[in-house]
Amino acid sequence: MSKNKVGFPSPDFDDLRVCDGCTRAIESDSNAVLYFCDTVWIEMERFDLPEVTPQEMYCLDCYPNEIPVPHLGTNEGFSLISMREEEDGSYTYDEIRILKGSSKNQGVEWSVLDVIREYHMTRLEDFPYTVTPMYGYILFRRSGIDLSGFISEGELKIPSEEKDKILDLIQVYVDRGHSRSYTPDAL
Ligand SMILES: [Zn+2]
């Protein structure tokens, strides 16, 4: 995977200033991890982007060391970056190195939309953000569910006997006042 194909968030794109795991602000002059990929879903439509594009940002505490459920059919990965806020309020980025990558020929067969629909019962139209494979993983992680534990024989298979447990955990999360759909302050 070519480093110079990854690209950076645009300087005036505000959404990538907080960690998408814990929602803490990423401070100027600090390092962070960008998740990039070339497959996204917007509403119900899959879009295959012409190149891998930064989608989410994580602080070093929330960086999971590997792509937890790499998606077969998606080029995706993490890169370590440093971010600096300039005097005019814009941001500049330096890529330090690619940390992990998974090409579209690698990974696990899973339908990001199906697991969200089945367990979160959220209308995809209601998501305020683009859905990525990592996003699907994080959505479950917020309720304490690690989808990577359900990988078996190259597929993400959630056993039917686990379904009620997962739905209960998501319900606890919702009962604590969090929405079923993702918002950055809903942690
Ligand atoms: Zn974080």
CA distances from 7 to 4, 35, 85 (A): 6, 11, 17
Q: Count Cβ atoms within 10 A of the Cβ of residue 177 and give its class: 0-12 exposed, 13-18 middle, 19 or more buried.
A: exposed
Residue type at 102 in one-letter notation: S
Give the span between the Cα atoms of 123 and 127, in whole angstroms.
7
Q: How far is the CA of 96 from the centre of ligand 1 (A)?
A: 19
| Distance from residue 2's CA to the centre of ligand 1 (Å) | 26
> Position of tokens 């899973």?
110
pTM of the model: 0.82
How many angstroms does the Cα of residue 32 sit away from the middle of ligand 1? 9
Distance 93 CA to ligand 1 centre (A): 18
Contact 166, 119 (CB under 8 A): yes
Cα 160 to averaged position of ligand 1 atoms, centre (Å): 32
Calculate how far, in angstroms, residue 124's C-alpha sits from the geometric centre of ligand 1. Answer: 24
* Per-residue confidence in pLDDT tens, the chain, 187 aa: 444 445 556 555 555 578 888 888 888 889 999 999 999 988 778 999 998 999 999 999 988 889 999 999 999 999 999 988 888 878 888 888 999 899 999 999 999 988 988 887 666 666 666 889 998 898 888 888 999 999 999 999 999 999 999 999 988 887 887 655 544 444 3
